[in-house]
Structure 1
Amino acid sequence: MAPSTTTTYTTKQWILASKPTGAPVLSGPDATFKLQTVTLPPLKDGQLLCKVRHFSNDTGLRNFIQSTVAPERFYVPTVPVGSPMRSGIIAEVLESASPSYKAGDLVMDFHLGTWSELVVLEAATSQKLAPLPKNLSLTHYLGAFGASGLAAYTGLKFAGGAKPGDTVVISAAAGATGSMAIQIAIHLLGAKRVVGIAGSDEKCAWVQDQLGAHACVNYKSPTFVEDLKAATPEEVDVYFDNVGGHVLDAMLTRVKKHGTIAVCGAVSGYNSDEPMALRNWFELISMRINIKGFIMLDYMDKAPGILQELIGAVADGRIKLQDAETMVEARIEEQPEVWMRLFSGKNQGKLITNLIV
């Protein structure tokens, strides 16, 4: 299809106005983000003009705007000041300059979408969305069948080396990645005992009753360390870490000799300007613990097979997605506030913005 050259489109769009040193600031002269109206360029060959339907809200986006890691060492390009804020999106094609897409198609982009009402995407890096079994919402492509599910699977199997008979512990177990990791460990990898760590008794009840964890420990409880020890009487083969901080510090005392920690994230420190303090760091030496950082992008060659396995596991009932999404209807003006809910634990499973106009 030939590019459109006759219509000009404008869109509201959030840009990064300043890099935060602690928690992002949502209002006032030092606000982290600024809403502006921009004119989109005409489509070029191979591009798509799309209307955004959903934003993927992920804690890792915090590192896109400011990180202790130097930009040249970061695993994807960061967001420069003055540039649009990025996130995964699901969008509807309005105009296509690619023979592979037509108006009305739904597409997803993992990381190159932006906080905008309208976006121009590259057809080559966009994914056309196919229907899911059991009439599941296509928004699961942003979570269970997207980066969250892929991170959970690859972190456990490849970085963590989880195998049948293992004891596995997963932090942020009620979040998008953790909730998938719990079920993957049990039903796909055959772990003998799977323990979740979450931020409330209610979340722990969901992790046990709905996701099937053998136990779940509330890290905000004053008896967290004692509860964790009681939940892991035979110690731990693989710890899947999403949070760092005092949870990681406690887990260092529970991992077996020659056990493995697969590090997916460190959300406890994303909005802090203080260094992470670990009193139990010497456990790594004493117990010869292996620690492996990873990102799911390392395993994209395996992604089609993994997604086929995950979708099949949902279709046959091994993995359940009931209550696995927190959907928030919001206008573009509210998107930064919706995203910030991640850092106060106001979501269960994947937090998704349903963009309304």
Structure 2
Amino acid sequence: MPRPTETRQWVLAKKPAGLPVLTGPDATFRLETVPLPPLKAGQLLCKSLYFSNDAGQRGFIESPVPADRYYINTVPVGAPMFTGVIAEVVESTAESQIKAGQLVMSLHMGIWAEYFVMDEVHAQPVVENEKIAMTHYLGAFGGPGLAAYTGLHYAARIKPDDIVVVSAAAGATGSVAVQIAANLVGCRRVVGIAGGPDKCAWVRSLLARGNDNGAQHACVDYKSPSFAEDLKRATEGGNATVYFDNVGGPVLDAVLGCMALAGRVAVCGAVSSYNNAAGTPMAVRNWFEVINKRLTLQGFILLDFADKIPGAVAELMEAAMGGRLALGDEGSETVVEVGIEGVPGTWLGLYEGVNRGKLVTKLVV
């Protein structure tokens, strides 16, 4: 196959006022065809195979805090949208052992493009395993799973006697978090929060895996009119000791009212507010519960625990091989196959809840 000389890529055309727009004069992204430059020393020309779809990518477009305080650089208008990626190396000038024909991944340094150039320092070789689909390097063994692992273990300091609540429990991070708490740590009670009966039923099936301590786990539906009462009942009368928060907003509000004295909250995300118009506050009525119950709130990002990642990956892979962490055909990911034209729309499906577990784009070039 001859070396490609150009590629199609999605660039940020306009910062959105709220939910990103796919078409029309206010479209958030624009598809462009651009030339592929010759490689410099230490670079890889990559063919995109899979893209990671993460709610936190909304912050790549426009930071939720003043830009000079944000922990990453945002995408400038006119620049390609970046993402986690699994790719095939087409050409290499790397000084390492990465050669043409190898598969590599990057947590955040890929872009929405058919082909792209990446510095070798940002690429990690993908170790193929016939029993584990490579897409899980973007999910359970990638950013979402590692955020769940490090957030629970090091931000929330989880223990077996905890009553743990996890929001967005049917999502990429939450679905791994409930399994870590229930099936790896063996917490005495784990309560997932998800949207709708089908997703709640699926979360309950995850909680049942490897459960050998007789724990009575649960999942409650935040869309139900009885959500507040169901959550209180599931947390044994409002005595949750740990909350892994992915969403903020009304769900955070409800859980704050169900926390035990000296409870710990690991704050991973706030997806309920990511697409709010600029300046729109996130209302929380139960904030005084932080004082009332003397709660500890710990915000974190995965890179805070970079030195823990190799051990976390090893433990998660062992759990998957042993059947205590659901993967593959058991429905822990949603893979959508599209051409480059469908990439932004697939990502936006996250905010409509189209996925169960990790949402992955399989790119057809």
Shift of 1:189: 2.0
- Equivalent residues in 2 for 1:118-157 (5 A)? 118-132=115-129, 135-157=131-153
Does residue 261 of the first structure (1) align with residue 265 of the second (2)?
yes
Instruction: Specify the SS of the correspondent of 2:55.
Output: coil
Does residue 219 of the first structure (1) align with residue 222 of the second (2)?
yes
Aligned to 1:349: 357
CA contact (8 A) 2:170 2:357 kept: yes
Aligned to 2:211: none
Does residue 98 of the first structure (1) align with residue 94 of the second (2)?
yes
Aligned to 2:55: 59
Q: Which amino acid aligns with 2:88?
A: E
Shift of 1:77: 1.4
Name the stretch that deviates more: 61-70 or 49-58: 61-70
Instruction: Specify the SS of the correspondent of 1:205.
Output: helix
Shift of 1:7: 5.7
Q: Which amino acid aligns with 2:180?
A: I
CA contact (8 A) 2:8 2:340 kept: yes
Q: How far, CA to CA, are the matches of 1:8 and 1:33 in structure 2?
A: 23
Q: Which amino acid aligns with 1:280?
A: N
Q: How far, CA to CA, are the matches of 2:4 and 2:342 in structure 1?
A: 25
Q: How far, CA to CA, are the matches of 2:206 and 2:259 in structure 1?
A: 26
CA distances 1:292-318 after superposition (whole Å, capped 9, x unpaired): 100111111110111011111111122
| Count of aligned pairs between the two proteins | 351
Q: Which amino acid aligns with 1:120?
A: V
CA contact (8 A) 1:59 1:267 kept: yes
Q: How far, CA to CA, are the matches of 1:289 and 1:95 in structure 2?
A: 52
Aligned to 2:276: 272
Shift of 1:214: 0.9
Q: How far, CA to CA, are the matches of 2:313 and 2:39 in structure 1?
A: 31
User: Where do 5+ consecutive residues of structure 2 fail to align?
Assistant: 209-215
Aligned to 2:163: 167
Q: How far, CA to CA, are the matches of 2:158 and 2:4 in structure 1?
A: 52
Name the stretch that deviates more: 316-325 or 23-32: 316-325
Q: Which amino acid aligns with 1:349?
A: G
Q: How far, CA to CA, are the matches of 1:141 and 1:244 in structure 2?
A: 27
Shift of 1:190: 2.4
CA distances 1:11-36 after superposition (whole Å, capped 9, x unpaired): 00000011112100111011100000
CA contact (8 A) 1:87 1:114 kept: yes
CA contact (8 A) 1:157 1:189 kept: no
Shift of 1:67: 2.5
- Equivalent residues in 2 for 1:202-217 (5 A)? 202-212=198-208, 214-217=217-220
- Equivalent residues in 2 for 1:1-357 (5 A)? 9-99=5-95, 100-132=97-129, 135-212=131-208, 214-233=217-236, 235-273=239-277, 274-321=280-327, 322-357=330-365
User: Where do 5+ consecutive residues of structure 1 fail to align?
Assistant: 1-5
Identity %: 57
Return the TM-score normalized by structure 2: 0.94
CA contact (8 A) 2:182 2:207 kept: no
